[in-house]
Structure 1
Amino acid sequence: MMYLMIIYFGVHLLQAEKKKRSDEDARSLWTTEASGSVKLRIDEHCPQEPITVHQMFINCVKKYGKLPALATKTEDKLTTISFCQYYDRCRMTAKSFLKLGLERFHSVAILGSNSEEWFFSAVGAVFAGGFATGIYSTNSPEACHHIASDSRANIIVVDSNWQLDKILLIKDNLPHLKAIVQISGCLKKKLPNLYSWEQFMQLGQDIPDETLDGIIKSQKPNQCCVLIYTSGTTGLPKGVMLSHDNITWTACHASRAGDMQPAEIKQETIVSYLPLSHIAAQIYDMWTGIQWGEMVYFARPDALKGTLVHTLKEATPSSHMGVPRVWEKMMEKIKHELSRAAYLKRKLVNWAMSVTLDANLTYGKDEEKPFLFGVVNSLVIEKLRAELGFSNCEKFFSGAAPIGWDTYKFFLGLNIHLYEAYGMSESSGPHFMSGPQTYKMKSCGKVVPGCRCKIANEDAGGSGEVCLWGRNIFMGYLNMKDKTVEAFDEDGWLCSGDLGKLDEDGFLFITGRLKELIITAGGENVPPVPIEDAVKEELPIVSHAMLIGDKRKFLSMLLTVKCVFNLDTMEPTDDLSPEAVKFCQRLGSQATKVSDITGGKDKLVNHAIQEGIARVNARATSNAQRIQKWTILGKDFSVSGGELGPTMKLRRGGVSLNACMLLKIKYPVSLYFISTSGFQENNPGGGPLEMVQ
């Protein structure tokens, strides 16, 4: 009896200590504990009552219950479910997670392509008191292990046998793992605690509604419900803890800043294809969809390999979001199709696009345009947009990275204004939004109403570190106190690490990144992105440009040229892209392969690149910001190569390491030294050259 009493009082002491710790957390703006809670940033700028994800969904069902919510096309058959059905399936999923032993503040890790099951798993995990944790489908088994281990995943949901194989390699080293669920395909292996989706959905039938409702009622807006793992461009991915309030407030207010309409005014239709493990796609596709009653149409798993346009034509979305690389690929595809068109059609389209571009550059977005603009838009441009699936699309968003000016202008020629946003995982996605009412070329828009921004340590030009405040600011990095403390200043503002400036109208312009800032041996600070963008704008053949020169005497640049990608492996091939071939042909070059250009083989292309870089150098603000050496690498950057992250962001650390190995050991390259008197080839033989700086 005494033993039982000791256990009883011990448990109560632990619970009291845990509650005390939780109460202390609630007085702090951040926490790193899975079970922690935070002080919400409610003030006069954003006084709205905080709600949980479940409360948001209940509001959705009350308003939009009978409207179509999710649409999936399989084998030419379109299946649609309503918001009422969507909610019910999320509850069933939550019950099945509970049956499998999902513990409070542990995660359900989801590894796979976008699907209704991905949505059910994420929302169901939150309903059941766990965390929704996405894993990029391109992640290696080692990367999957890090996320599943760090988030204490009790259950992992995979979409295929291919993804299952990754988890089977690491499952024995995941002490918290209790079950694996496979969404599609026949189970090729019979293993304990491995379930098909159909088997899984039957498991929770004997879990009473009262049990699930009790868990739901115990949830608070200031507790964590979603983990977003950073793409790991520097070090291991960090688990960004997002609270119920982060999700529900952002879904409501950031989307309205982008002019997304509530379904009672107009039901928006969007296509879900970007990785849901990224906050931008998750907020835009899933949480905003619940908030405003959007219809989400799922693209095929191979959307980014060429089938996206087919889905767009079927779904005819009212708004569409892409990352810069998606817009670039779409541009390249259109250019390729135009190059194969009949001469008269090609001339007509190019003329119509030039008229449209000139009008959009000359006149404001909402200003009255010349009569000719209306004619070509009606007779030519609208038909082109329909061919892309954009016949009903009114809003086009670009996020996750800055978009190139050449891509931006190309779509202006199609009368498509790309609305850029700025934010990060740590701000639950967008903190600045562009939209029909808040638009300025090359800007990221204005701060989302209710959020705030300050520019710290401004230089003479008004540029400094962008710091953020609002209900969308994250709770902290899971299990990483030092990194969390580093993320905030002494007043609790999130320090983004990005350099930017605000104009007189409050529009944000990003000018670089603190960690990417190059400090030369002479002590001059050089932001690389504007120089890299300028080179790509001057030279349409260039796919990626990366400036290097930290602690060096001068700047050098690594270039890759545009090539065709293998659609099965997404690996870069040796074949030049149609746009690159066309660039070469205009010079009189016969090059059709990357290897025709590298190593100084093609003098015409090399000279054109030298001239382009010279034009960029002529506009440099100082000698220290001039490119002194450059080289063309033998392969374009890719996710699998380690140079790009999952959202196609440049991983500078990965590039620098790979490129140095390439330059010193593996690949015969030429570095070209650019002098004031002309261009001199440093290594005419094209042999392996160690970079001298």
Structure 2
Amino acid sequence: MNDVDLRQSIDSGKLKPATSYTSTSLHEGVKLRLGETGPLSELPPTTLPQMFREACEKYAEHPALTWETPGAGDQGWTTLSYKDYQKQVEQVALLLIDAGLEERSSLGVLAFNCPEWFFAEFGALRAGGVVAGIYPSNSAEAVRHVLDTSEATVCMVDDAQQMAKLRAIKESLPRLKTVIQLHGPFESFVNQESGYYSWQKLMEKVYPISLKEELLCRENRICANECAMLIFTSGTVGLPKAVMLSHDSIVFDTKAIDLSMRNIELGNERMVSYLPLSHIAAQIFDIFLAMQHGGCVTFADKDALKGTLVKTFLKAKPTRMFGVPRVFEKFQERLVAAEAKAKPYSRLILAKARQVVAQHQMTSILGEKHSIYSSSKYWLASRVVRPIRQMLGLDSCKTFLTGGAPVSDEMKNFFLGLDMPLGECYGMSETGGAITLNVEITNLFSSGQPICGLEVEIKEPDANGHGEICMRGRSNFMGYLGQPDKTMEAIKEDGWLHSGDLGYLDEHGNVVISGRLKELIITAGGENIPPVHIEELIKKELPCVSNVILIGDHRKYLTVLISLKTKSDSKTGIPLDALREETIEWLNELDLHQTRLSELLGISGDLQLPNDAAALTAALAIKAEPKLLEAIEAGIKRANKNAISNAQKVQKFALIPHEFSLATGELGPTLKIRRNIVHAKYAQVIERLYK
């Protein structure tokens, strides 16, 4: 049989026999919810390799991937067309089979975003494998857990630092045959010892026709209802669970998101890949949605979240952007700092312009008509704020999406004034990506309506309609690999996935999220309190505050831990002692003129906090300026006026000596606050609040 015959024989809609909608094995298929109502009801089951092939053939000459390559053309940048993208993936698929990737086993990828990540993903999928991304910040033991759980037979690592982790654990992973290092420098054992290779050496090999035939036969055996990807959830307790997503789940979620997007220019969309590809949001947005639109993905460098992201935006000129709230917070901090250095007259003009733009945006959001006068004012004001978008490299961006953590009203309004309305999204690994996609924004308090083909229901709502958000649809995950009990807890027999999130549906069907069931604080008096709402109220009253953590589970009253806004090291991300400009301005209004946090908190010497013990010691030694304490207390009292009940009023607070960050451990890989880490780190400070 020749190549053409083999390709024509591939049945993308083939389904493996299945008796259940769930599975916890890489070797089983699941039933699909086919024939549901809606625009996607007739979407046939499709494998990811088939989706990839169709995109590459449709957009063969369009640019697919762009990355910085020192010494390359176009001032150090390389661009790959979809036709060449497909060729690279085929070579990598052959490489992986030759390296020992078994069908229905996993390829572990321990690397920052790069073109090789994309090649390896589709190469593994074509070879009948499963993709398991690993956060580069994971410890060697955490990496071992992922590779062991995912039944990995091959692992790809970024560099020598990541290779060292694999070197330490490989002997404890009997199924793992080969480790491939993408980028140098290389240790002496690479390409010398069996099982350790460089990417370049394997890519240079010429593979026999028999291996190509094996690849096509493997691809012909892939079923759309089998597992394609494992997303490891970053839970607050215990080791991460492996979320199993089928080919059909990912294809369906991508198609549903596509239906929600507006003003798509097929073959001319541009995205920047910088969020971890081991997370479902980056997978859907960077890889599959870009491919669906024939778009071009530009890769940011490893320091993107430490300050170099704007450099990539200026190069790529993205048309769509997704970022977790912390990314937009960083932009806001940068812009506020730049504005603080401007002349008073310029600051006044910019403030007025932002106000006019925000009013125009709100009128549009509310569905009201614009008068000729207001439209003229907006036209002039938009010319004033446009250079800010240009400075960020976002002047061509048509959609700004954010999710993964709470988004403050203050931040939404700030970007509204820059003609950058943030559409808040809601999604989970367990739903294959998006649940809601707020592209056509109708309000600033919700996450928008459910995507096409997904049912959303509030289970056991209280008198106000608040309860657990549950969803059912074709994109729901298969199960947690090897954990049937956990799977049954998440998905019930009726097909409803229990999210663990609290919220309600407004009168228009928009999903409004109020917190997490696991984060729910139950006071000693028995009142259930979602912390996020109260934390955001306090931050709204105190612009100097960076982080607020509500405490009070099984306690008589509520308290909070508070950190102030400071600068951070652009290379390491470690919070510094220097206060941010907006914090200094706020302090000046209190007749306080400190510029360093240590001075403000009464701690001798520059704040250097290399570990948790040092941070705790500093927290216990705080003797803050009385005016600062009085101002914070006044802000909390103002926030308390909006409390739903007396039990939801904050009684005491304590300051802690630095902002939360990845480097200091309070933020996880997707920049969510790890509450249990904060509670453990400052346990002694918390106990003081209850004496």
Give the Å deviation of 1:362: 4.7
CA distance 1:391–1:142, shift in 2 (3 Å) = same
TM-score by length of 1: 0.90
- For 1:332, the equivalent position in structure 2 comes to 333
- For 2:169, the equivalent position in structure 1 comes to 170
CA distance in structure 2 between the partners assigned to 1:663 and 1:503 by the alignment: 36
- 2:471 pairs with 1:468: yes
Give the Å deviation of 1:204: 6.1
Asked whether the 8 Å contact 1:254–1:431 carries over to 2, the reply is no
Deviations 1:423-473 (A, max 9, x none): 10001110111113x542221111111111111011111111110111110
Asked whether the 8 Å contact 2:290–2:297 carries over to 1, the reply is yes
- For 2:59, the equivalent position in structure 1 comes to 64
Equivalent runs, 1:401-416 vs 2, <5 Å: 401-416=405-420
Equivalent runs, 1:250-329 vs 2, <5 Å: 250-259=253-262, 261=264, 263=266, 267-329=268-330
Range moving further from structure 2, 406-415 or 350-359: 350-359
| Correspondent of 2:670 among 621, 630, 647 | 647
Identity %: 40
Q: Which runs of 5+ in 1 are unaligned?
A: 1-21, 665-689
Give the Å deviation of 1:32: 0.7
Equivalent runs, 1:130-209 vs 2, <5 Å: 130-190=129-189, 191-203=193-205, 205-206=207-208, 208-209=211-212
Amino acid in structure 1 at the alignment position of 2:132? T
Partner of 1:431, secondary structure, is: strand
Asked whether the 8 Å contact 1:96–1:202 carries over to 2, the reply is no
Deviations 1:13-53 (A, max 9, x none): xxxxxxxxx99971111111111211112232234111001
TM-score by length of 2: 0.90
Give the Å deviation of 1:596: 2.9
Give the Å deviation of 1:663: 5.0
After superposition, the CA RMSD in angstroms is 1.9
Partner of 2:251, secondary structure, is: helix
CA distance in structure 2 between the partners assigned to 1:581 and 1:144 by the alignment: 42
CA distance in structure 2 between the partners assigned to 1:280 and 1:262 by the alignment: 21
- For 1:122, the equivalent position in structure 2 comes to 121
Asked whether the 8 Å contact 1:99–1:204 carries over to 2, the reply is no
| Correspondent of 1:602 among 625, 629, 654 | 625
- For 2:481, the equivalent position in structure 1 comes to 478
Partner of 2:598, secondary structure, is: helix
Deviations 1:565-597 (A, max 9, x none): 222222222222222222212221122222233
Partner of 1:467, secondary structure, is: strand
- 2:20 pairs with 1:28: yes
- 2:604 pairs with 1:579: no
Q: Which runs of 5+ in 2 are unaligned?
A: 1-13, 602-621
CA distance in structure 2 between the partners assigned to 1:81 and 1:493 by the alignment: 42
Give the Å deviation of 1:167: 2.0
Deviations 1:327-375 (A, max 9, x none): 0000000111111123332222222112222333355366444545323
Give the Å deviation of 1:99: 0.3
- 2:30 pairs with 1:38: yes
- For 2:3, the equivalent position in structure 1 comes to none
- 2:638 pairs with 1:635: no
Partner of 2:51, secondary structure, is: helix
Q: Which runs of 4+ in 1 moved over 4 A?
A: 22-25, 365-368, 661-664
Amino acid in structure 2 at the alignment position of 1:507? N
Amino acid in structure 2 at the alignment position of 1:74? T
| Correspondent of 2:690 among 676, 689, 692 | 692
Give the Å deviation of 1:509: 0.6
Deviations 1:113-151 (A, max 9, x none): 111101011111111111111111222222112111111
CA distance in structure 2 between the partners assigned to 1:585 and 1:170 by the alignment: 54
Partner of 2:404, secondary structure, is: coil
- For 1:357, the equivalent position in structure 2 comes to 358
Range moving further from structure 2, 143-152 or 164-173: 164-173
CA distance in structure 2 between the partners assigned to 1:482 and 1:93 by the alignment: 37
CA distance in structure 2 between the partners assigned to 1:477 and 1:260 by the alignment: 37
- For 2:378, the equivalent position in structure 1 comes to 374
Range moving further from structure 2, 34-43 or 474-483: 34-43
Asked whether the 8 Å contact 2:409–2:444 carries over to 1, the reply is no
Asked whether the 8 Å contact 2:265–2:293 carries over to 1, the reply is yes
CA distance in structure 2 between the partners assigned to 1:333 and 1:607 by the alignment: 28
Deviations 1:639-665 (A, max 9, x none): 24332211111111111111204556x
Partner of 2:419, secondary structure, is: coil
Partner of 2:79, secondary structure, is: strand
Range moving further from structure 2, 409-418 or 598-607: 598-607
CA distance in structure 1 between the partners assigned to 2:497 and 2:17 by the alignment: 18
Asked whether the 8 Å contact 1:520–1:551 carries over to 2, the reply is yes
Partner of 2:679, secondary structure, is: helix
| Correspondent of 2:444 among 441, 446, 464 | 441
CA distance 1:521–1:124, shift in 2 (3 Å) = same
CA distance in structure 1 between the partners assigned to 2:523 and 2:284 by the alignment: 39
Amino acid in structure 2 at the alignment position of 1:285? D
Asked whether the 8 Å contact 1:97–1:204 carries over to 2, the reply is no
Amino acid in structure 2 at the alignment position of 1:576? L
Asked whether the 8 Å contact 1:422–1:430 carries over to 2, the reply is yes
Partner of 1:515, secondary structure, is: coil
